Amino acid sequence: MKRKWIIGILVIVAVGAILAVVFINMFTNKSTDAMAKNLDQAVSEGYLCETSDEYGVLNEYFEEVSSALAAQSDEEQKVTLNCQKLYVSLTKEAKILNSQLAFSEYTNVYKNSNKKIENLLKSAQKHANDAKAYIQSTKNLTNPSQYWTAGTWYECKDMITKMIADTNNALRSIAEVYKAGVNSKLFNNKLSSLIFETEQNLADDVLKDLKVAGAADGIYNFTQIYFSSTSLEIIMSYQYDSTVKDKVDEILNAENRAESPAYLAFLEGNLS
């Protein structure tokens, strides 16, 4: 008899636990507002905002230090030039993602990625703040020489490359959330997925070897085409332009995409 009571109590406890989980899930705010807020903060006033202090200070620094490095280290000058173009490119991608993320539904992809994205954006912002503070501290010196200016890069390089790497990883995850959660076929289709995937692949290629001259030219040019004010029009064209659909399918089905004429034309903005 006593054993039956114990079993009964355990069953009640188990059922109660299950019901508690159900009620918690029912009343949990299942929206993407948290991630949208984090990205929007970075894009509207943080390091991914084209009018922010961080963005202005870093881009001015890239110009100054790449010029100073020209006479000191050709290899490191290439790194600064690639970092600048990659930073500008990722900023434009973030702006487009931010404009559409508000329409994303809550999905398991979001649930599994939200905290990771938040941490990456915070980390990138910290590196941007640290780099800005260091750069500004060097401005207090009177007429620093080109040799001295070039030397500041070796203090700043780690902060800047980590900022870019964190941003790239965050945007990759955000693009996956976009793909899983935006229901509109006008804005989320095979072409939009191809654009985001290509942007990420190009960014990865640059980060593998920043010392290659012109390594970031490809992503910079691609970004000017597909992450501009008309980018959403290009994405929407997929739904009503059969030629665009055929080109996208040709690219996606190519045995060796990198050497596909359709893909090479796509990189240059030609989908006709």
The confidence score (pLDDT) of residue 36 equals 66
Q: Is residue 20 part of a domain?
A: no
Helix 146-181 and helix 190-208, axial crossing angle in degrees, nearest 10? 150
Q: Is residue 213 part of a domain?
A: no
DSSP E strands, 119-230: none
Q: Is residue 168 part of a domain?
A: yes
pLDDT band at residue 2 using 50, 70 and 90 as cut-offs: very low
Residue pLDDT, tens place only, 156-195:
999 999 999 999 999 999 999 999 988 888 889 999 999 9
Q: Is residue 221 part of a domain?
A: no
Which residues span the domain enclosing 153? Answer: 31-185
Residue identified by tokens 């702006």 is 95
Neighbours of 240 (CB within 10 A): 9
Q: pTM here?
A: 0.86
Q: Is residue 131 part of a domain?
A: yes
User: Does residue 4 surpass a pLDDT of 80?
Assistant: no
Q: Is residue 171 part of a domain?
A: yes
Cα gap 127→138, rounded to integer Å = 17
Q: Is residue 259 part of a domain?
A: no
Cα gap 64→54, rounded to integer Å = 15
Distances (CA, A) of 110 to 22, 140, 167, 182, 192: 20, 44, 17, 11, 18
Q: Is 104 helix (H, G, I), strand (E, B) or coil?
A: strand
Residue pLDDT, tens place only, 50-76:
999 999 999 999 999 999 998 888 899
Q: How many domains does the chain have?
A: 1
Residue pLDDT, tens place only, 89-110:
999 999 999 888 877 888 898 8
Q: Is residue 260 part of a domain?
A: no
Residue pLDDT, tens place only, 184-235:
888 899 999 999 999 999 999 999 999 999 999 999 999 999 998 787 888 8
Q: Is 142 helix (H, G, I), strand (E, B) or coil?
A: coil
Vertex 91: Cα angle to 89 and 97 (nearest 5): 105
Cα gap 159→220, rounded to integer Å = 21
